[in-house]
């Protein structure tokens, strides 16, 4: 039975929480505190005391509830409702002006474009989901489509409100931002670690990433982290301003930190001036930045410009000049990649560049080594820009000694000793061993098991390495012959884990032809190309028998891709691998070929909004497209129909105003089943 709590006490406790939220906002977001630390502490302790006496009144958004009590066993996966896109890069003024020209050409306008200018914080991209103003989820960017649930950890960061303040925020609001560690906090953290004899972090970004990866939120709570909002993702049940900078100011008014150096540039010349100004301020800032992000400020123009692949057309990151250091090339080793590419890797005398210690760098290919005139024992300039793999950019010939040695390329594969080849028009040397090559075999199996391929839950990269090294699998089809007794003998593989892996393998036997094609790891055949091939040829037999000329009739396939596909299926060991996989029980629903003009939804444009419970947005979109429909992100007069799930907001309202057909998830499933 619930105790009888006086309404006056309920009112007092909520008023106290609101007061503390306001003080947090003034202190952590505006940097303009209006009370002393001692006064804040007294109010906080008063709230804590009342909640201790009346635990039934404690709410998850109370300022006292930032740190969870129980450490996690592992991070759960989170699917982003709206993908977290990456950005294209500019490295000089010419790149920026070309970017601006591309936008003007696409918009068919010579008018200056207004840009939002924001320092590019060197931290970890995250997503915060608020429902009715309450923080319900925090997640990492991950691969852009799927990240990790770090809700317990983001709740410990004081600049992240557990409940939004003010009013006017949407019912569902996903805030994107960067979690970072200020320079002063980083120095203090390392000083504390050094005093305790613990390992120190290399740079603030690594410290921030390590802090967010803690399974015990109490450890994260001890780290001096901040979060700066830079955009929004999924928004339902409300509207946002028309300009990006105004959206950020709205987020700020709701309690979120934004960058005080943010500015608006009226044209590309002002963008370049802003870049130069921030480059000069870079060392004096309280946090690390590695460039400037420029975004078209008009959200309407953003929508018109759209995106390519995983990056928006309307934004670009202009990186600051990369840091470079001189060190010595000790040796060159040759690595074999998943596609058989032989890559020379420089083994360097360790040197501190761009915040990390670098001991390896890519040399790309034989042509690059010849261009550099590089020899073993040379002194070289190493270049590192942000997260880009370090590379050797030049040789310091003035320091060359007499003991230098020429770099000898291998004549056979360094892993399987198969012959090497270089295709016409390419500079890359490749191993011809395919799936019989140990290096390619491991990478091929990892790719085969990955989420967007066969999606074998529990079969991570490390386990694949162990299974191959122990001789339990030598080809992808061997996965389906794994036995319980052999798995349980592996280190850290208990009976439950073995059962789960075998169950996941059994479940993966039923797939789709596009997924299977993608899983084979054919060069240049991504998800979209695999889907196009599957729906053009309908069967693996037709694809494997297709000539290069026939392959060129597929929309996404050009001459190079056609060659790779045809060459893959000419190799006897690849055909054998496909046959063995099918013999192991892999199968998929039959695809019936239908001319594009005869597809049932050809000419229709659909929009999906709200939450879907029985089917993911990605699957719904793919199935609608397979039926000939176009799936758009916004409602317009050209929209044929809207699929509205729970929590649908402004898109639903607009569709109702325009008299557009509206269906729910059950009707969507019936529509898909009907066809």
Give the integer Cα–Cα distance in Å for 418 and 626. Answer: 41
Which position has the higher pLDDT, 1 or 612? 612
Instruction: Note the pLDDT of residue 309.
Output: 65
Whole-angstrom Cα distance, residue 314 to residue 599?
33
Q: 564-572 long-range contacts, Cβ below 8 Å, gap at least 24? A: 564/522, 564/523, 564/524, 564/525, 565/522, 565/525, 565/533, 568/520, 568/522, 568/523, 569/543, 569/544, 569/545, 571/434
Start-end of H helices in 595-649: 617-626
Which of 37-51, 111-125, 194-208, 251-265 has the least mean pLDDT? Answer: 37-51
Mean per-residue pLDDT for 81-91?
A: 87
Would you place residue 1 in the very low, low, confident or very high pLDDT band (cuts 50, 70, 90)?
A: very low
Active-site residue, from 19, 108, 120, 470? 120
Calpha distance 380→384 (Å, rounded): 13
Give me the chain's average pLDDT, please.
87
For residue 407, give the DSSP letter: P
Kindly report, residue by residue over 649-664, the tens digit of the pLDDT. 788 989 999 999 999 9
Bridge partners, 308 (sequence order): 311
Per the CB < 8 A criterion, the answer to whether 443 and 337 are in contact is yes
- CA-based nearest residue to 251, from 237, 241, 266, 261: 241
Between CA 244 and CA 114 the distance in angstroms is 10
The neighbouring-strand residues paired with 180 are: 226
CB 128 within 8 A of CB 174: yes
- Which pLDDT value is given to residue 75? 83
* Cβ neighbours, 10 Å, residue 288: 22
Nearest to 220 by CA among 31, 397, 67, 330: 67
For the segment 468-481, the average pLDDT, to the nearest whole number, is 90
Binned at pLDDT 50, 70 and 90, residue 472 comes out as very high
Residue 258's nearest CA partner among 181, 316, 178, 162 is 178
Pseudo-torsion of CA 21, 27, 32, 36, nearest 10°? 90
The string of pLDDT tens digits covering residues 336-365 is 887 788 999 999 999 888 767 889 998 988
Q: What distance in Å separates the CA atoms of residue 334 and residue 93, rounded to the nearest whole number?
A: 36
Long-range contacts of 621-626 (CB under 8 A, 24+ apart): 622/531, 623/672, 624/672, 626/531, 626/535
SS3 category, 304: helix
Whole-number Å distance between alpha carbons of 655 and 606:
11
627 confidence band (pLDDT: 50, 70, 90): confident
Are 91 and 120 contacting, i.e. CB atoms less than 8 angstroms apart?
no
Domains and CATH numbers, the chain: 7-57 (1.10.287.610), 88-319 (3.30.470.30), 323-432 (2.40.50.140), 434-508 (1.10.150.20), 513-583 (1.10.150.20), 597-674 (3.40.50.10190)
**Other beta carbons within 10 Å of 180:** 25
Give the pairing type, strands 641-644 and 605-609: parallel
638 is catalytic: no
Whether pTM exceeds 0.95: no
Q: Residues near 597 by Cβ (< 8 Å), separated by ≥ 6? A: none
Average of per-residue pLDDT across 136-148: 88
300 compared with 52, residue with greater pLDDT:
300
The alpha helices in 242-381, defined as continuous H runs, are 244-253, 268-281, 299-305, 366-372
């Amino acid at each position: 039975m619930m105790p009888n709590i006086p309404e006056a006490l309920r009112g007092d406790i909520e008023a106290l929480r609101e007061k503390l939220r306001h003080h947090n906002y003034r202190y952590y977001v505006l940097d303009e505190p209006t009370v002393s630390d001692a006064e804040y502490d007294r109010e906080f302790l008063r709230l804590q005391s009342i909640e201790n006496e009346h635990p039934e009144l404690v709410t998850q958004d109370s300022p006292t509830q930032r740190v969870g009590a129980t450490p996690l066993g592992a991070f759960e996966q989170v699917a982003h409702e709206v993908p977290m896109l990456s950005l294209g890069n500019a490295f000089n003024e010419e790149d920026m002006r070309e970017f601006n020209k591309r936008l003007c050409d696409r918009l068919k306008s010579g008018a200056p474009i207004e840009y939002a200018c924001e320092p590019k914080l060197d931290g970890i991209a995250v997503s915060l989901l608020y429902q009715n103003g309450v923080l319900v989820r925090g997640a990492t960017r991950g691969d852009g489509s799927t990240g990790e649930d770090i809700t317990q950890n983001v709740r410990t960061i004081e600049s992240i409100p557990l409940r939004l303040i003010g009013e006017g925020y949407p019912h569902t609001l996903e805030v994107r931002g960067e979690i970072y560690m200020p320079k002063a906090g980083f120095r203090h953290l390392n000083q504390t670690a050094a005093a305790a004899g613990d390992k120190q972090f290399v740079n603030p970004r690594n410290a921030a990433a390590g802090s967010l990866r803690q399974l015990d939120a109490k450890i994260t709570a001890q780290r001096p982290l901040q979060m700066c909002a830079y955009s929004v993702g999924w928004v339902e049940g409300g509207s946002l301003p028309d300009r990006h900078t105004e959206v950020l100011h709205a987020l700020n008014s709701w309690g979120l930190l934004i960058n005080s150096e943010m500015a608006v540039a009226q044209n590309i010349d002002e963008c370049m001036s802003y870049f130069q100004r921030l480059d000069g301020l870079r060392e004096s800032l309280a946090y690390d930045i590695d460039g400037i992000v420029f975004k078209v400020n008009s959200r309407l123009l953003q929508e018109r410009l759209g995106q390519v692949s995983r990056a928006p057309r309307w934004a670009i990151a202009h990186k600051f000049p990369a840091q470079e250091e001189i060190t010595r090339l000790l040796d060159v080793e040759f690595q074999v990649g998943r596609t058989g590419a032989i890559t020379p890797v420089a083994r360097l005398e360790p040197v501190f560049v761009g915040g990390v210690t670098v001991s390896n760098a890519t040399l790309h290919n034989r042509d690059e080594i010849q261009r550099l005139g590089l020899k073993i024992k040379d002194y070289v300039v190493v270049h590192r820009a942000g997260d880009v793999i370090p590379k050797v950019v030049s040789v310091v010939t003035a320091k060359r000694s007499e003991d230098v040695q020429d770099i000898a390329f291998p004549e056979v594969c360094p892993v399987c000793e198969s012959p090497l080849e270089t295709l016409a028009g390419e500079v890359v040397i490749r191993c011809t061993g395919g799936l019989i090559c140990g290096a390619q075999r491991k990478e091929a199996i990892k790719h085969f098991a990955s989420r967007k391929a066969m999606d074998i839950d529990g079969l991570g990269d490390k386990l694949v390495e162990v299974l191959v090294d122990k001789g339990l699998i030598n080809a992808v089809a061997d996965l389906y012959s794994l036995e319980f007794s052999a798995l349980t003998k592996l280190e850290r593989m208990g009976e439950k884990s073995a059962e789960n892996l075998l169950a996941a393998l059994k479940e993966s036997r039923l797939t789709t032809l596009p997924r299977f094609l993608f899983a084979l790891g054919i060069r240049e055949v991504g998800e979209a190309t695999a889907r196009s091939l599957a729906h053009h040829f309908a069967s693996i037999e037709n694809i494997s028998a297709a000539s290069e000329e026939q392959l060129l009739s597929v929309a996404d396939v050009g001459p190079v891709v056609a060659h790779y596909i045809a060459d893959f299926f000419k190799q006897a060991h690849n055909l054998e691998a496909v046959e063995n996989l099918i013999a192991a029980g892999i199968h998929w629903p039959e695809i019936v070929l239908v001319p594009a003009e005869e597809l049932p939804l050809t000419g229709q444009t659909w929009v999906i909004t709200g939450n879907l419970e029985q089917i993911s947005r990605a699957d719904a979109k793919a199935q609608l497209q397979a039926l000939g429909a176009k799936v758009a992100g916004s409602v317009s007069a050209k929209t044929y129909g809207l699929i509205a799930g729970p929590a649908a907001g402004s898109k639903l309202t607009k569709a109702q105003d325009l008299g557009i057909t509206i269906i729910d998830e059950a009707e969507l499933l019936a529509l898909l089943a009907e066809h």
